[in-house]
């Protein structure tokens, strides 16, 4: 292996204290790249390599099937090598810095099927049991308002008005927003509050533990996961997935994108528009299930 590359890998291992596995990934990518850059020669001339040389190599790797994530890591490894050499004064230009990183495909948000949430919200529970009623209300709040986990935990009791059927949450960057809700949720909030009197809350939050203290993230996560799993839910079952489900259901039912954006508290349309891809994907799925000729092969 080239002496300079070996010196760089030792730097990663001894001075940067990177794990053996991480250093091995750098070694694999840099050896592969160096072998291509030295084709027909005996020595790796790092100073003569250009950004176009790196782009050409990346194109060849993509043709061979390397994923965008793999290509990104290769560029990052080369960039790191040149940064190291520049700090040592051995190189004056980092050609890899002029090479754009491959764009990673954005995964679509996960959501829960409506029938799964309906199974939770329509299931029988002990209406006199504080914990069961509170857990039902937690799921209902996520599903019917789309609020974030942090917003639910910090939701103040005085911020929830069952007469006007609206609640005020403090979102990111301390921005407040008003979210409307329906009669069913208003009923459950009233019923929960009636039971909460016996718990004697020691805080101003709407939702509390059985000892009257504020909820915490792991408790809420386990509540959501367990009740959805018991109803037949699969995959990732979290508060954030319920938030995704809220947005997906709203758009599937005809809500305007701008309205969903405001309800979710998004700063820009870009964050909300991803749900349009989910609804289109769901539409395609339903079409293929329902239309008699959707899956009929030609010929």
DSSP 214: B
Bridge partners (DSSP) listed for residue 170: 176
pLDDT at residue 287, rounded to an integer? 47
pLDDT at residue 219, rounded to an integer? 96
8 A C-beta contact, residue 158 and residue 168: no
pLDDT at residue 186, rounded to an integer? 95
Give dist(CA 126, CA 270) in Å, integer: 42
Bridge partners (DSSP) listed for residue 169: 177
pLDDT at residue 283, rounded to an integer? 52
8 A C-beta contact, residue 215 and residue 153: yes
Bridge partners (DSSP) listed for residue 180: 166
Give dist(CA 31, CA 126) in Å, integer: 64
User: What is the CATH architecture assignment of 3-98?
Assistant: Orthogonal Bundle (1.10)
pLDDT at residue 293, rounded to an integer? 46
The residues, any chain, with a CB within 8 Å of residue 13's CB and separated by 6 or more, are 20, 23
The residues, any chain, with a CB within 8 Å of residue 96's CB and separated by 6 or more, are 51, 54, 75, 78, 79, 81, 82
pLDDT at residue 299, rounded to an integer? 42
CA angle 142, 145, 151 (to 5 degrees): 65
pLDDT at residue 234, rounded to an integer? 65
Give dist(CA 138, CA 126) in Å, integer: 16
Start-to-end C-alpha separation, the chain? 56
Nearest to 246 by CA among 168, 149, 174: 149
pLDDT at residue 153, rounded to an integer? 95
Give dist(CA 257, CA 277) in Å, integer: 12
Strands of 176-180's sheet in order across: 160-161, 166-170, 176-180
Give dist(CA 141, CA 134) in Å, integer: 10
**Residue appearing with tokens 């560029």:** 75
Q: Are strands 166-170 and 176-180 parallel, antiparallel or unpaired?
A: antiparallel
pLDDT at residue 1, rounded to an integer? 54
- What is the residue extent of each domain of the chain? 3-98, 114-290
Candidate CATH numbers 1.10.443.10, 1.10.150.20, 3.40.50.2300, 3.40.50.300; the one for domain 114-290: 1.10.443.10
C-alpha gyration radius of the chain? 27
What is the phi/psi pair of residue 10, to 5°? Answer: -65, -40
pLDDT along the chain (299 residues), means of 10: 86 90 93 84 82 92 89 93 93 92 68 81 93 96 93 96 93 87 94 93 92 94 90 78 86 82 83 66 53 48
8 A C-beta contact, residue 42 and residue 86: no
Give dist(CA 237, CA 222) in Å, integer: 9
Q: Which residues are catalytic?
A: 148, 172, 240, 243, 266, 275
């Amino acid at each position: 292996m080239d002496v300079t590359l070996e010196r760089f890998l030792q730097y990663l291992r001894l001075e940067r204290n990177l794990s053996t596995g991480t250093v091995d990934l750098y070694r694999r990518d840099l050896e592969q790249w160096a072998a291509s850059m030295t084709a027909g020669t005996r020595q790796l001339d790092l100073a003569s390599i250009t950004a176009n040389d790196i782009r050409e190599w990346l194109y060849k790797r993509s043709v061979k099937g390397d994923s965008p994530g793999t290509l990104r890591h290769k560029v990052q490894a080369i960039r790191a090598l040149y940064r190291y050499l520049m700090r040592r004064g051995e190189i004056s230009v980092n050609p890899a810095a002029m090479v754009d990183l491959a764009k990673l495909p954005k995964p679509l948000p996960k959501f829960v099927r409506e029938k799964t949430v309906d199974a939770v919200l329509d299931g029988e529970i002990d209406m006199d049991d504080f914990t069961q009623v509170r857990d039902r209300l937690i799921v209902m709040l996520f599903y019917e308002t789309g609020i974030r986990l942090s917003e639910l935990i910090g939701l103040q009791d005085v911020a929830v008005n069952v007469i006007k059927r609206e609640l005020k949450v403090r979102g990111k960057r301390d921005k407040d927003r008003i979210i409307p809700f329906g009669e069913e949720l208003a009923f459950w909030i009233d019923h929960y509050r009636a039971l909460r009197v016996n718990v004697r809350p020691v805080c101003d939050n709407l939702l509390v533990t059985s000892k009257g203290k504020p909820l915490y993230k792991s408790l809420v996560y386990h509540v959501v996961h367990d009740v959805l799993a018991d109803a037949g839910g699969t995959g990732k079952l979290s508060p954030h997935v319920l938030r995704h489900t809220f947005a997906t259901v709203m758009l599937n039912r005809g809500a305007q994108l701008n309205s969903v954006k405001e309800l979710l508290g998004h700063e820009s349309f870009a964050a909300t528009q991803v749900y349009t891809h989910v609804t289109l994907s769901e539409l395609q799925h339903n079409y293929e299930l329902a239309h008699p000729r959707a899956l009929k092969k030609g010929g």
